[in-house]
Amino acid sequence: MLATTSTLSSTASQLTPLSSLSPNPFSVKFSFAFRENKNRIAVPTSLKSQRCQLSALPALRVSASSQSAPTSVEASKVSALPSEMKAWVYGEYGGVDVLKFDTKVAVPELLEDQVLVKVVAAALNPVDFKRRQGKFQNTDSPLPTVPGYDVAGVVVKVGSKVKDFKEGDEVYGDINEKALEGPKQSGSLAEYTAVEERLLALKPKNLDFVQAAALPLAIETAYEGLERTGFSAGKSLLVLNGAGGVGSLVIQLAKHVFGASRVAATSSTGKLELLKSLGADLAIDYTKENFEELPEKFDVVYDAIGQCDKAVKVVKEGGSVVALTGAVTPPGFRFVVTSNGAVLKKLNPYLESGKVKAVIDPKGPFPFSKLVEAFSYLETNRATGKVVIHPIQ
């Protein structure tokens, strides 16, 4: 059950109180069932260097260590479970101004196949703000909504049929199996969230919670898109927006997991070295070059920016174009990722070896109290890698 009131804690006094809303969309209680950087380093300028400073991206962090992260103390902080929690909530569709902070949101109740996660870090995704803007309201869950898809945290309670996790496990995942079809009303931008065990995996040992939270939806999207094209060893790939949350992982998965023979990617001038450090053989500055005029053609073009009409001009005959956003031009296709903890488990060895890394925007992580600022920044489309919220408290 989700319940909200208009009382804010003194620690969040700078935030807009629900009592200031007129009318107050949270003045009644709502009930529903749920079906539902310790190792951070500066971006390397080459694959040979894992710890150096890139002047163009002075604080960008890439998880590259294969060493185990120090044992987390987060599990020891969890005591008796409360009935209410702090969370961000919106009761109407709109811009960032509809987001309201509340300290009296009911902790979600568990279904038998779910675990309750104490959220330590959460990442933002474009689907979060597009959902809030009402672009998917025909298939959305009822309002009010606690937003958030990506989560990293500690299991504090398990449902009666849960077999793979126990209390104290450090986990990560995308809590919504279907991104657009009835996503959970109570998401990850809260102190606690309930999620089916099949959507989660154990957090890679060498990653901290911030790095782990940056991965689930983006890495699952990158992986599923490549799989859908039939991408395999020896094939070539062009990634549009290679420095973005999904694009940065497409480069790495194509090169280090699928065995691509050649990877090209686009970005602005200041991010070209990042592309190379992630495995791109050719880094294209879209401010100076038109990629669609390249004489080279690719087996697959992964369009993570919304330029499918141009992408189809550089794909080989019989090749594929994955379009995550914008209009789709044949032979391009679009898909919506299905969250799957089994994919995370499959990719964990690559994360733990350091072959695949989480890229985190240099402006973050943003504290929980600065969620509105974090979303405003994400919506500029200028973020590098992922925008992460931490700590959640």
Please give the sequence-ordered ranges of beta strands (E in DSSP) within the chain, or none if there are none.
40-42, 61-63, 84-89, 100-106, 114-124, 150-158, 170-174, 192-196, 200-202, 236-240, 262-267, 282-285, 298-303, 315-323, 332-333, 359-360, 387-389
- Please check whether residue 316 is in contact with residue 298, taking contact to mean a CB–CB distance below 8 angstroms: yes
Q: What does pTM read for this prediction?
A: 0.83
- 245 Cβ contact list (under 8 Å, min separation 6): 123, 125, 214, 218, 359, 383, 385, 386
Residue 80: per-residue pLDDT: 85
Residue 346: per-residue pLDDT: 98
Alpha-carbon distances, residue 54 vs 181, 193, 365, 366 (angstroms)? 41, 37, 19, 22
- Please check whether residue 308 is in contact with residue 329, taking contact to mean a CB–CB distance below 8 angstroms: yes
Alpha-carbon distances, residue 169 vs 72, 210, 232, 245, 289 (angstroms)? 10, 16, 34, 26, 48
Q: Distance (Å, rounded) from C-alpha 275 to C-alpha 264?
A: 9
Length of the chain: 393
- Please check whether residue 323 is in contact with residue 238, taking contact to mean a CB–CB distance below 8 angstroms: no
Cβ atoms within 10 A of the Cβ of 256, count? 17
Concatenate the DSSP letters of all residues of 3-60 into one string. ---S---GGGTTSPPGGGSSS-TTSS-B-------TTEEEPPSSTT-SS---TTSTT-
- 275 Cβ contact list (under 8 Å, min separation 6): 242, 243, 251, 265, 267, 283
- Please check whether residue 172 is in contact with residue 352, taking contact to mean a CB–CB distance below 8 angstroms: no
Residue 51: per-residue pLDDT: 35
Cβ atoms within 10 A of the Cβ of 169, count? 18
∠ at Cα 384 (132, 68), nearest 5°?
105
Average pLDDT along the chain, 393 residues, taken 10 residues at a time: 41 40 38 38 36 37 50 54 97 98 98 98 98 97 98 98 98 97 98 98 98 98 98 98 98 98 98 98 97 97 97 97 96 96 98 97 97 98 96 95
